[in-house]
């Protein structure tokens, strides 16, 4: 019987050399995002953050200015990108709920769903997601893939509001500031972050602890009153869709991400970090290495100079609700 060939992961359905002629730290992370497997969901995850795409869950184009400016044609937009991001986000949240309940996902009752999902996008993104959550048959009626079931009351759907500039933005930095504003008023420590795989290296540099967007010195005074809202405790687990697919517009996306990371991380006023922060993880191996190092440091600290009493506070996840 002939051996079946094992399909190796590809660089977004292509060869690396089809897109880039040389490597740098940013393209290396694009490679890592494409060629590795997403982390296994763990019960510690207490929030799922799904970043909005260039299109909506109803397959409308959100970034229409790219067409108007002649930077992209309609056929170069991935119409299912936002759908697949949200599907993965819901699947992760459901798996975490099942792990916590000690059940299979299909056995979950309404009371077993406890993990909130945060989503922030432009007005068209948010309105389309609200429509899809109100009418679970809508996407099927439109000939699109329906979202898996998840309680609508556990979604927080937020605008791209930057409280420091008191304005509404449109890009990844605006998503980060909106998300940061949410974190300053909701205590979460273990967050699954979902986007397209090509976008994850920039997301990591925007949301990681070393990013200018996450500097604790800019924390809201209201949030400063409670140490439970410290951003320094947060761990981000990165999940990407379309790792091995040559989807619509992928070459433009990859080249654009490399350029954006180089430009946004340089100069006198960078908006993202140049290197990856210690609290962002692409793989199970990275999570395990971090935990092993943290455990070694913990025992080193607590075995020197006498015995210390260790207490643990019980964590509770409160549902986050939004009006649809």
Least confident of 6-10, 51-55, 105-109, 139-143: 6-10
Least confident of 127-131, 168-172, 248-252: 168-172
Output 210 or 170, whichever has higher pLDDT. Answer: 210
Residues 284 and 278: their CA atoms lie apart, in Å, by 14
Torsion of CA 111, 106, 43, 116, to 10 degrees: -50
The 3-class SS string of 242-279 reads CCCCCCCCHHHHHHHHHHHHHHHCCCCCCCCCCCCCCC
Mean pLDDT over each residue of the chain, to the nearest integer: 87
Residues 149 and 108: their CA atoms lie apart, in Å, by 11
Closest CA to 185 of 231, 123, 232, 252: 231
Residue written as tokens 């951003």?
Answer: 231
Share of the chain above pLDDT 70, in %: 84
Please give the distance of CA 218 from its chain centroid, rounded to a whole number.
Answer: 22
Per-residue pLDDT at 301: 65
Residues 31 and 18: their CA atoms lie apart, in Å, by 13
Per-residue pLDDT at 139: 87
- Mean pLDDT in residue range 97-117: 98
Per-residue pLDDT at 144: 87
3 pLDDT above the threshold of 60: no
Output 300 or 281, whichever has higher pLDDT. Answer: 281
312 pLDDT above the threshold of 90: no
Cα dihedral sign, 231-191-193-220: negative
Query: pTM for the full model?
Result: 0.86
Contact at 8 Å (CB) between 12 and 198? yes
Q: H or E segment at 167?
A: strand 167-168
Residues 264 and 266: their CA atoms lie apart, in Å, by 6
Token pair in block for residue 255: 């080249």
The tens digit of pLDDT for each residue in 80-102 reads 999 999 999 999 999 999 999 99
pLDDT band at 1 (very low <50, low <70, confident <90, very high): low
Per-residue pLDDT at 215: 81
**Other CB atoms closer than 10 Å to residue 285's CB: what's the count?**
12
Per-residue pLDDT at 231: 82
The tens digit of pLDDT for each residue in 187-227 reads 999 999 999 999 999 999 999 999 999 986 545 555 444 44
The tens digit of pLDDT for each residue in 138-168 reads 988 888 889 999 999 999 999 998 777 777 8
54 pLDDT above the threshold of 70: yes
pLDDT band at 33 (very low <50, low <70, confident <90, very high): very high
pLDDT band at 131 (very low <50, low <70, confident <90, very high): very high
Share of the chain above pLDDT 90, in %: 70
């Amino acid at each position: 019987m002939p051996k079946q060939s094992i399909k190796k992961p590809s660089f977004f359905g292509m060869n690396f050399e089809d897109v880039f002629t040389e490597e740098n730290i940013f393209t290396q992370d694009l490679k890592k995002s494409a060629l590795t497997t997403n982390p296994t969901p763990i019960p510690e995850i207490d929030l799922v953050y799904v970043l909005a795409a260039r299109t909506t869950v109803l397959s409308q184009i959100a970034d229409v200015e790219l067409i108007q400016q002649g930077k992209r044609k309609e056929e170069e937009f991935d119409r299912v990108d936002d759908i697949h991001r949200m599907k993965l986000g819901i699947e992760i949240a459901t798996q975490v709920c099942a792990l916590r309940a000690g059940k299979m996902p299909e056995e979950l009752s309404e009371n077993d769903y406890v993990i909130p999902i945060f989503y922030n996008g432009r007005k068209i993104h948010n309105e389309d997601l609200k429509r899809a959550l109100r009418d679970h048959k809508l996407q099927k009626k439109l000939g699109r893939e329906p979202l898996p079931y998840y309680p609508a009351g556990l979604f927080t759907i937020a605008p791209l509001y930057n409280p420091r500039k008191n304005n509404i933005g449109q890009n990844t930095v605006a998503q980060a500031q909106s998300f940061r504003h949410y974190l300053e008023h909701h205590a979460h420590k273990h967050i699954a972050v979902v986007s397209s795989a090509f976008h994850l290296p920039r997301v990591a540099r925007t949301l990681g602890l070393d990013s200018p967007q996450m500097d604790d010195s800019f924390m809201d005074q209201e949030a400063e009153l409670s140490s439970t809202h410290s951003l320094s405790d947060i761990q981000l687990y990165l999940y990407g869709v379309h790792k091995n697919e040559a989807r619509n517009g992928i070459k433009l996306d990859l080249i654009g991400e490399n350029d954006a990371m180089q430009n946004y991380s340089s100069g006198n006023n960078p908006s993202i970090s140049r290197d990856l922060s210690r609290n962002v993880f692409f793989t199970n191996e990275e999570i395990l290495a971090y935990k092993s190092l943290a455990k070694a440091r913990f025992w080193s600290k607590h075995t020197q100079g006498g015995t210390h009493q260790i207490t643990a506070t019980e964590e509770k996840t409160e549902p986050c609700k939004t009006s649809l």
